[in-house]
Chain A
Amino acid sequence: MKSRLLALSVALALGVSSGAVAQSRYVHANNSSYDTLDPHTVFDVARVASRLNFYDGLYRWVDNPPELIPWLATGHEVSEDGLTWTFTLRDDVPFHDGRMMTAEDVVYSVERMLAIARGSAALFLPVLDPGNTVAVDEHTVAFTLKEPSALFGSFVADLLVLNSELVKENEVDGDWGQAFLTENVAGSGSFTLTRYDPALGFIGTRFADHFAGWGENYLDEIEFRTVLETNTRIQGLMRGDYHGLDGYLAPDQVQRLRASDAVQIFEEESMRVFYFAVHNGREPMDDLNFRKVLAHAFDYDGYINGIMQGTVARNPTINPNNLWGVPDVEPYTYDLDKAREYLELVEGPIRTLRIGTLAGFSETEQAAALLQNGLAQLGINVEIESAPWPVVSSNMQDPDTMYDMVPLWKSTYYADPNNWVGELYGSRYAPTRNASAYHNPESNELLEEALVETDQARRAELYEEATRIIYEDAAGIWIYNTKWFGPYSSRLQGVRFSPVGNGQDMRWAYFED
């Protein structure tokens, strides 16, 4: 109680000192630190808040299921050959310093992103070369792609536009303003940067002149703080120190928060599939029968109803159930007898298998332990190796260092089946994203066709068929699709969740009086 008063008085003191009256400030506790504000160098879900709230893209993802709405651009046209994409820009977009956005800003932003090759550049580099973006006129910009792409339209939400003049003024030795943008914002987004400390987080103030305008209710200030410890974030929310947390909580924590009056939980079906990536290129997993052994040796029910306490839904394939392009198939079941039958078809003794888990993500550790337990009953030994995500991730990208299996999630970077089945099992993405070393000419052809096909119905068919083949191949162990449990203060209204932005796009939210 005492420290809540204290927090309040500090907040008041700060509010008063910035010269305004009765400011409403939303405080969000985030699980990783905002080390950089540069929108082009990071592309992880954990640090999405600074990108969403300080910057705007050509389009924007909103709501669930995710919908792409025109944002900085009002629309686009694609040329006959599918190579040239022309976007018409709004002419009423002011940056935070008042300068109006033009096509040149978009061109500069694209070139910068491609040149520093980090973050969202991963989406663009395969289809777009530097120098192929031109400003047709002040408010029209055209991209010439390397190959036709059905997906380019959904990438442009991640094309965040910088105030090119401001950045250029602050370039040092041709660094594309990297030093500057680490700690400063040069955008047009819904909030302007008030304070930033990489060890703590950032504070943003509402940008009243934002082109999209504001409704009747809004937040005056947003504060995103780094609070690394899950338990602390939850306690803080219950005490009222924080008003929101990142979602995807473990069921035990959701239960705890539900018991608190100060907290409301938005529950949304998300698109984040939990699965085991299985190395299909290495024995014994290169044998279909052995992969079926694996598929039948995992206690799906125990995991979903025991550990996850029924808060998630079984997802039989790699594509999230609530997306299109999902085939109608029976999920694999935990059935050790069936597994034994398949095991008899596998030749020779089975070596000890290696599962890599993500240190600090207890769901992956628990899933690995459960599979280890199932396989042990079949006489198969499993070693679990826990390592931090960057290490696991970099090991996964090389077929030689890839573990035999890795339990992990695939989040939504863009809401298209290619984000899941395409990137994880298509040959063109091997070895970096298709870490399973899965190569099946039959499914691959379908996936390739879907990448250039523009007819939505046909694409859905293609993805359904490809996903079915991969399912029958038991190329992985697919477990569940996550629910997003967005814990917020009971006073907060208007939160708009989208699986792409994780409910951290704060321009829609406000406090109830």
Chain B
Amino acid sequence: MRRLEIILSRFVWFIPTLFGLLLVVFLIANVVPTDPARIIAGENATEAQLAILRAQLGLDEPIYVQFFIYVRDLLSGDMGRSLYTQREISDDLLRRLPATMELTLVSITLAILIGVPFGVISAIRANTWVDQTLRVISVSGLAVASFWFAIELQLFFSTRLGWMPLNGRIAGFGPERITGFLLIDSVITGDWASLRSAMWHLILPTLTLALPAAATLLRFTRAGVLEVINSNYVLYETAMGFPRALVVWKYVLRNALISTVTQIGLIFGTLFAGAVVVEAVFDWPGLGTYAVQSILQSDTKAILGFSILVGVVFIGINLLVDIVHTFIDPRMVK
């Protein structure tokens, strides 16, 4: 019952939080009144043209009316039209979402594959040179500016060695769009060349994104494993003569991973944020480049749409983490 209560209370807060977010972003976006009509008209604008455009866009309404209209349209799934791309914003966002999702999902997988095993090794070999080395690497991983790291990777692996593609998701246009996830679409269509190309293009961006995430996971896993190793029951099992490897995998890891799982949820969020910058470096056609572009173009409605989408994804992930948490951590439900 308690679990349901927790989950429900989280759901109840979902809507007001989202509304608050909407309000905050709407206000931010309208603090300085840049004139969208002028932006559309560009450098060749004439006054007559501006008048027509202002009327078209409904810019003569007071700001609170604009907000009201915006929320009303949003409820029917209409985020408006982008000033710059002149396309439906919801359409733009949905088209780009899979690119970002693919990038972050592969990155988080990579981060788990690196961070968790090395975290365990680091804990088991605590205070040896292995541990020290891994800790230096993980501290460094958190201190690197991702955009700089990305550029250096490009310089070395793409430019100097010529091993990796420089940018983009795929050579050419890729397979027919079904899910928007290139890895999945190329498998469905049996287009193996595209699959290889897509995987090849994923390497550098995911490496950049996964580095800080792997470092965080390594630190948490190490701390978690150490705590369990030093707890009484593990000492007991070891004293009973169970093989060390069995103890580690069977008892230690399962308990230690509770905090790691929570961490993975949070990391997914930071990866989403990191994607904004990394996508900009690698010309990744995802939400991040879209956000940076619309911000640079002062495309208010597109920025709003992006923030809302990311907000929903973010709040959704946190909700999910909370729910998962109630299942794996019995203390919470007590």
A2: CB under 8 A from chain B? yes
A195: CB under 8 A from chain B? yes
| B87 partner residues in chain A, CB cutoff 8 A | 35-36, 182, 198
Provided the pairs A3-B171, A199-B95 are in contact, do residues A394 and B34 lie with their beta carbons within 8 angstroms?
yes
Check if B49 sits within 8 Å of A125, measured CB to CB: yes
Docked Cα-Cα span, A2 to B162, in Å, equals 8
Selected from A6, A118, A199, A432, the residue in CB contact (under 8 A) with B200 is A6
| A429 partner residues in chain B, CB cutoff 8 A | 46
Docked Cα-Cα span, A229 to B150, in Å, equals 13
The digit string for A174-199, where 1 denotes a CB below 8 A from any CB of B, is 00001100100000000000010111
| B166 partner residues in chain A, CB cutoff 8 A | 232, 235-236, 239, 241
The residue in chain A whose Cβ has the minimal distance to the Cβ of B295 is A388
Q: How many A-B residue pairs have CB under 8 A?
A: 157
Give the segment of A37-45, A48-56, A461-469 that binds chain B.
A37-45
| A178 partner residues in chain B, CB cutoff 8 A | 86
A373: CB under 8 A from chain B? no
| B289 partner residues in chain A, CB cutoff 8 A | 228
Minimum C-beta distance from B28 to chain A (A): 15
Minimum C-beta distance from B249 to chain A (A): 38
| A198 partner residues in chain B, CB cutoff 8 A | 85, 87, 92, 95
Give the segment of B37-45, B206-214, B220-228, B270-278 that binds chain A.
B37-45
B233: CB under 8 A from chain A? no
| A residues 172-230 in Cβ contact with B at 8 Å | 178-179, 182, 195, 197-200, 203, 223, 225-229
A509: CB under 8 A from chain B? no
| B50 partner residues in chain A, CB cutoff 8 A | 432
Selected from B82, B167, B281, the residue in CB contact (under 8 A) with A35 is B82
| B residues 78-97 in Cβ contact with A at 8 Å | 82, 84-88, 92, 95-96
Check if B162 sits within 8 Å of A43, measured CB to CB: no
Check if A121 sits within 8 Å of B283, measured CB to CB: no
| A228 partner residues in chain B, CB cutoff 8 A | 280, 283, 289
Check if B48 sits within 8 Å of A126, measured CB to CB: yes
Minimum C-beta distance from B318 to chain A (A): 28
| A44 partner residues in chain B, CB cutoff 8 A | 42
A346: CB under 8 A from chain B? no
Minimum C-beta distance from B130 to chain A (A): 34
Selected from A14, A35, A36, A227, the residue in CB contact (under 8 A) with B168 is A227
Docked Cα-Cα span, A10 to B34, in Å, equals 44
Selected from B44, B196, B281, B283, the residue in CB contact (under 8 A) with A6 is B196
| A116 partner residues in chain B, CB cutoff 8 A | 56
The digit string for A377-420, where 1 denotes a CB below 8 A from any CB of B, is 00000000000101101100100000000000000010000000
Selected from A36, A43, A223, A232, the residue in CB contact (under 8 A) with B44 is A43
Check if B298 sits within 8 Å of A388, measured CB to CB: yes
Docked Cα-Cα span, A3 to B168, in Å, equals 13
Check if B296 sits within 8 Å of A10, measured CB to CB: no
| B191 partner residues in chain A, CB cutoff 8 A | 13
| B residues 158-211 in Cβ contact with A at 8 Å | 158-159, 162-168, 170-173, 177, 191, 193-194, 196-197, 200
Docked Cα-Cα span, A203 to B173, in Å, equals 9
B53: CB under 8 A from chain A? yes
A156: CB under 8 A from chain B? no
Number of chain B interface residues as a range: 35 or more
Docked Cα-Cα span, A123 to B45, in Å, equals 9
Docked Cα-Cα span, A361 to B296, in Å, equals 13
B297: CB under 8 A from chain A? yes
A7: CB under 8 A from chain B? yes
Minimum C-beta distance from A170 to chain B (A): 15
Docked Cα-Cα span, A36 to B85, in Å, equals 6
| B237 partner residues in chain A, CB cutoff 8 A | none
Check if B165 sits within 8 Å of A432, measured CB to CB: no
Provided the pairs A36-B86, A182-B86 are in contact, do residues A200 and B173 lie with their beta carbons within 8 angstroms?
yes
B60: CB under 8 A from chain A? no
Query: Which of A9, A359, A360, A394 lies at the interface centre, i.e. has the most chain B CB atoms within 10 A of its CB?
Result: A394
Check if B42 sits within 8 Å of A393, measured CB to CB: yes
B111: CB under 8 A from chain A? no
Provided the pairs A35-B82, A38-B86, A182-B87 are in contact, do residues A43 and B42 lie with their beta carbons within 8 angstroms?
yes
| B285 partner residues in chain A, CB cutoff 8 A | 197, 199-200, 226
| A235 partner residues in chain B, CB cutoff 8 A | 158-159, 166
The residue in chain B whose Cβ has the minimal distance to the Cβ of A118 is B40
Minimum C-beta distance from A440 to chain B (A): 21
| B197 partner residues in chain A, CB cutoff 8 A | 6-7, 10
Selected from A42, A121, A225, A239, the residue in CB contact (under 8 A) with B162 is A239
B35: CB under 8 A from chain A? yes
| B84 partner residues in chain A, CB cutoff 8 A | 35, 390
B5: CB under 8 A from chain A? no
| A179 partner residues in chain B, CB cutoff 8 A | 88
B307: CB under 8 A from chain A? no
A-B contact pairs, 23 of them (CB 8 A): A3-B164, A6-B193, A6-B196, A7-B171, A14-B173, A35-B84, A35-B85, A36-B87, A43-B42, A117-B56, A118-B40, A118-B86, A121-B49, A125-B46, A198-B87, A199-B286, A226-B285, A232-B166, A235-B159, A388-B297, A390-B296, A390-B298, A394-B38
Give the interface of B toward A (CB within 8 A): 34-35, 38-50, 52-53, 56, 82, 84-88, 92, 95-96, 99, 158-159, 162-168, 170-173, 177, 191, 193-194, 196-197, 200, 280-281, 283, 285-286, 289-290, 293, 296-298
Q: Closest 3 CB pairs between A and B?
A: A35-B85, A199-B285, A394-B38
* Apart from the given pairs A122-B49, A413-B44, 15 other A-B contacts in the complex at a CB distance below 8 Å: A1-B162, A7-B172, A11-B171, A33-B85, A118-B41, A122-B41, A122-B46, A179-B88, A197-B173, A203-B173, A227-B168, A235-B158, A388-B298, A390-B296, A432-B50
